[in-house]
Homo-oligomer: A and B are copies of this chain.
Amino acid sequence: MIRNEQLGAGLWVFGRTVDRYAAGGYGPAVRTLQAIERAGQVGGMANLDINYPFAEPDLPPEKVFEAMERQGLRAAAVSPNVFNSDFPRGSFTSPDPRDRLRAIDIGKRCAEIAHEWGADYVKFWTGQDGFDYPFQADYAELWDLSIRGIEEVARSDPQMKFGIEYKQREPRTHIIFSTAARTLVGIMEMGVDNVGIVYDMGHSLAARETPADVIQLLHRHGKLLGVELNDNWHDWDDDMTVGSVNLIETLEYIYALRRIDWQGPLLLDQFPYREDPMEAVRTSFRTMRALDRLLDKLDLNALAE
């Protein structure tokens, strides 16, 4: 059964959304501490996933921690922001070694903050590490750099857990860690124990994976480090409210988490461009609870047949 202590969301859900046409953003700017207040207004949730560096360069991590405490929230994850315009040529795979060093440094700094905050893991989503055009990339080198970069951060702090969140495309037309199995192969190549996978349902659907199937595969390999929920129209990472399109696959996903007795955080990754973020988050939680109760009632053995 889903517990309040499991529920949570990425902090960006409460920030200002932008798209490539609405460069000015939908709605006014939202500062980091303000976004944490908004998260506190949701009610019935406990966890956050926070990108670092923060939008405000001078904001000390302790201030962020205190703001979370005031709202009864904690950080489940600290996520290195190496996917914005500071890394247009890639982070761990940039042809410029200074970019790669910067990415590694941010990763290490996130691990320190995660220790200070008592977060569960540091989450890498390396959206700029990939390619856009045919004949643009040396694929072997991209793969190698992707693995070596994350491996280096992971080896520097064996007490911390590190997760990779894969995604097939956007912002690059092709991202290196694109599917669950590719990322699993990459982790095997790293040869370290403290790297796992953070599973995002929307990225998985857009990559034509079957959520419940991927959950069992990652669990089988002991590499399921975190899970995120949202929904989309099957071919793009629309970051919509949970179950709003793919209700049956969402039910099966929650059932799969139940079968492996998942007790960790259940985090939302939504972009409520045109919706009130607090309400969008509450709607997702309501749907998740409703599906969870439905599973209580269903004869799961009959379902298995």
Contacts and interface: CB of A to CB of B under 8 A. Distances in A.
A221 B216 CA distance: 24
A169 B24 CA distance: 20
Interface of A: 16-27, 83-85, 88-89, 127, 132-135, 137-140, 143, 168-171, 173-174, 179, 181-182, 184-185, 188, 207-208, 210, 212-213, 216-217, 220-221, 232-236, 238, 240-241, 244-245, 247-249, 252, 255-256, 271, 273-274, 303-304
Oligomeric state, in copies: 4
A173 B233 contact: yes
A172 B212 CA distance: 17
Contacts of A16: 23
A273 B128 CA distance: 11
A88 B208 contact: no
Contacts of A143: 213, 216-217, 220
A181 B171 contact: no
A274 B210 contact: no
Contact of A207 (B208, B220, B249): B208
B244 A26 contact: no
14 contacts: A20-B171, A21-B84, A22-B84, A22-B171, A132-B238, A134-B248, A134-B252, A135-B252, A138-B304, A139-B217, A140-B216, A174-B210, A185-B221, A207-B208
Contacts of A185: 181, 184-185, 217, 221
